């Protein structure tokens, strides 16, 4: 009976939300106020029902399982195989004292505003542990570009576009890979997310095509890029068209969840580059709809993520369609054994550029990480206070934030609650259709939406300019997911904040978080250290 009532209330909640959206579109303020009051009442009843369901002996409490597709692993030595009685007691017992939040007033709001305006501090933290390995695995000293003017093999139009974009100079991964790529060397680039890897492979390929006068309708597709997710494929396509346009070069992305017809239409018009997810690309190749037999350059982006997602068979199938003589570029954030094996199977005498010690997972140093220890029952209030602190509750705010929740249900509930509180927000998770995902991402990019609430499905690959704040409403399942979540801010030289809400029930994850934070010299509170013991 409780479950049936919960379903009825959830349906009623959805109806009210749709009515509120319609009232908002029609500019009916009075109706919005009435509906908002109704929504608050329904949500209060829903919370009570769900609490009753959790306390019910017949409840299996299985509805809150994390969304599938999140990376495996754990937070290391503190891994918890199952909830103990002590954990259960901690979950139900209020924290002994209010959270001590150390953020200075205005600092998060300032970071959000600066990120939204595209400002950088000019003080990007550079990684000092950089190594270049030759094909014989010897560390070598190699040429690097410190300014765009040194990139003499790039067409002048490309250099002008880079300056127009406001980049102060090449990022570290670009500085070390561009000289090698422009010589036609196979490359393995190992660097953190948000380090500029996309332009590290796009610009050398486009410069070569421009020099040779490549025409896709005559010469075929020149560049093939494989990426793990449709969001990343779309982002690479956007960057490719942004920087390729000045050279008369066009790219098309191919991924599942969208009609093949539109993708094929663009492909047939003549594409210099295809950016694709392995699954959709294999479908196209097996159906004879796409030809890659004249590809000159093959790129794997976020190769480690593709292996995590089980794409190795599809990647190897694609390799059977492309020419054996080709230029290869291989980018990854981590360098475990399975990634090394894949690189070895497809590259020829590669040079390896490693930014930082990638054997240890390391967060972006341009992100200020903070942990706020809160009571489970206070998280809803805490998220609203944080968004208010960041200035995102103001109608004229230009800031942007991403909030991560552990389940699809929590993602929806949190979005609805923030929406009713006046926050311009949207949700993205595995149950969302492509049209809904595109609308949410486009809204965040263009500023219609201030807050994107997401599961880990959205954590990797998303590159939304102007995100100044990431909130881990629910703690990530493992350190890798945590690092990639917070990597959605502090990109391309901008500064960002990452705030994690940690309950005492999740205290077993504290030690792993401290390890990640220490790798980038973050300030760690005594309260967090005590919780980790």
- Domains 81-116+362-532 and 130-355 equal at CATH topology level: yes
Task: Check pLDDT > 90 for residue 166.
Answer: no
Mean pLDDT computed over every residue of the chain: 82
Q: How confident is the model at residue 88 (pLDDT cuts 50, 70, 90)?
A: very low
What mean pLDDT comes out for the span 429-444?
85
C-alpha–C-alpha distance, residues 523 and 521, integer Å: 7
- Does residue 58 have a pLDDT over 60? no
Residue 333 has pLDDT above 50, yes or no: yes
Confidence (pLDDT) at 62? 35
Q: Which range is least confidently modeled, 91-100, 308-317, 426-435?
A: 91-100
* Residue 95 clears pLDDT 50, i.e. is over it: no
3-state secondary structure of 315: helix
**CATH top class, domain 130-355:** alpha beta
Of residues 396 and 178, the one with the higher pLDDT is 178
- Is the model more confident about 60 or about 243? 243
Residue-wise pLDDT for 450-498, tens only, equals 999 999 876 566 778 889 999 999 999 888 888 888 988 987 778 899 9
The string of pLDDT tens digits covering residues 234-285 is 999 999 999 999 999 999 999 988 889 999 999 999 999 999 999 999 999 9
Q: What is the pLDDT of residue 84?
A: 35
Q: Which CATH superfamily is domain 81-116+362-532 in?
A: P-loop containing nucleotide triphosphate hydrolases (3.40.50.300)
Check pLDDT > 80 for residue 295: yes
pLDDT reading at 113 higher than 90: no
Higher pLDDT, 50 or 164: 164
Q: What are the angstrom distances between the C-alpha of 48 and each of 45, 59, 419, 435?
A: 5, 15, 20, 33
Among 52-61, 94-103, 430-439, which range has the highest average pLDDT?
430-439
The domain spans of the chain are 1-63, 81-116+362-532, 130-355
Cα 35 from Cα 16, distance rounded (Å): 7
pTM value surpassing 0.75 = no
Secondary structure, 3-state, 418-462 = HHHCCCCEEEECCCCCHHHHHHHHHHHHHCCCCEEEECHHHCCCC
pLDDT class for 133, splitting at 50, 70, 90?
very high
pLDDT attached to residue 11: 63
* pLDDT at position 61: 36
Average pLDDT score over residue span 489-517: 89
Of 381, 416, 383, the residue nearest 36 (C-alpha): 416
Of the candidates 424, 417, 378, which has an alpha carbon nearest to the alpha carbon of residue 401?
Answer: 424
Q: How many Å apart are CA 513 and CA 510, to the nearest integer?
A: 5
Task: Express each pLDDT in 171-212 by its tens digit.
Answer: 999 999 999 999 999 999 998 777 889 999 999 999 999 999
Q: Identify the weakest region by mean pLDDT among 73-82, 273-282, 468-477, 514-523.
A: 73-82
């Amino acid at each position: 009976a409780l479950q049936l009532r919960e379903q009825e209330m959830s349906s009623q909640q959805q109806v009210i939300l749709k009515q509120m959206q319609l009232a908002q579109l029609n500019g009916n303020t009075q109706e919005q106020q009435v509906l908002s009051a109704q929504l608050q009442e329904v949500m209060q009843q829903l919370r009570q029902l769900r609490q009753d369901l959790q306390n019910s002996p017949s409840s299996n409490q299985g509805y809150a399982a994390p969304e599938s597709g999140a990376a495996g692993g754990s937070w290391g030595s503190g891994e918890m195989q199952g909830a103990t009685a002590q954990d259960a007691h901690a979950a139900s017992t209020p924290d002994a004292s209010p959270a001590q939040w150390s953020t200075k007033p205005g600092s998060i709001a300032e970071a959000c505003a600066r990120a939204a305006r595209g400002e950088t501090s000019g003080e990007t933290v550079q990684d000092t542990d950089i190594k270049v390995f030759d094909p014989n695995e010897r560390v070598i000293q190699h040429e690097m570009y410190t300014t765009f003017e040194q990139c003499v093999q790039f067409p002048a139009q490309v250099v002008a576009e880079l300056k127009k974009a406001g980049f102060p100079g090449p990022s570290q991964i670009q500085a070390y890979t561009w000289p090698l790529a422009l010589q036609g060397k196979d490359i393995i680039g190992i660097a953190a997310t948000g380090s500029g890897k996309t332009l590290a492979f796009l610009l050398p390929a486009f410069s070569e095509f421009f020099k040779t006068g490549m025409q896709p309708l005559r010469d075929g597709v020149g560049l093939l890029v494989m990426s793990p997710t449709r969001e990343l494929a779309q982002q690479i396509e956007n960057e490719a068209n942004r920087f390729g346009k000045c050279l008369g070069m066009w790219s098309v992305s191919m991924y599942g969840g969208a009609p093949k017809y539109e993708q094929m239409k663009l492909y047939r018009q003549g594409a210099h580059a295809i950016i694709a997810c392995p699954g959709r690309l294999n479908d196209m190749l097996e159906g004879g709809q796409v030809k890659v037999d004249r590809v000159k350059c093959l790129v794997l982006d976020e190769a480690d993520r593709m292996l995590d997602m089980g794409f190795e068979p599809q990647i190897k199938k694609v390799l059977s369609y492309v020419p054996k003589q080709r230029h290869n570029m291989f980018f990854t954030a981590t360098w475990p054994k399975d990634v090394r094996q894949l690189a070895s199977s497809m590259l020829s005498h590669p040079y390896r550029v490693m930014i930082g010690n990638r054997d240890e997972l390391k967060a972006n140093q341009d992100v200020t990480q903070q942990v706020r220890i809160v009571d489970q029952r206070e998280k809803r209030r805490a998220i609203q206070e944080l968004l208010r602190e960041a200035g995102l509750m103001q109608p004229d705010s230009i800031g942007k934030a991403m909030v991560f929740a552990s389940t699809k249900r929590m993602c929806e509930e949190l979005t609805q609650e923030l929406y009713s509180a006046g926050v311009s927000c949207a949700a993205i998770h595995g149950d969302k259709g492509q049209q809904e995902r595109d609308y949410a991402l486009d809204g965040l990019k263009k500023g219609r939406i201030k807050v994107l609430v997401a599961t880990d499905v959205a954590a990797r690959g998303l590159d939304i300019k102007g995100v100044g704040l990431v909130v881990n409403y629910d703690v990530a399942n493992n350190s890798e997911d945590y690092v990639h979540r917070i990597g959605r801010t502090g990109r391309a030289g901008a500064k960002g904040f990452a705030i994690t809400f940690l309950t005492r029930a999740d205290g077993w994850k504290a030690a792993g978080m401290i390890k990640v934070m220490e790798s980038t010299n973050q300030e760690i509170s005594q309260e967090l250290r005590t919780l980790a013991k």
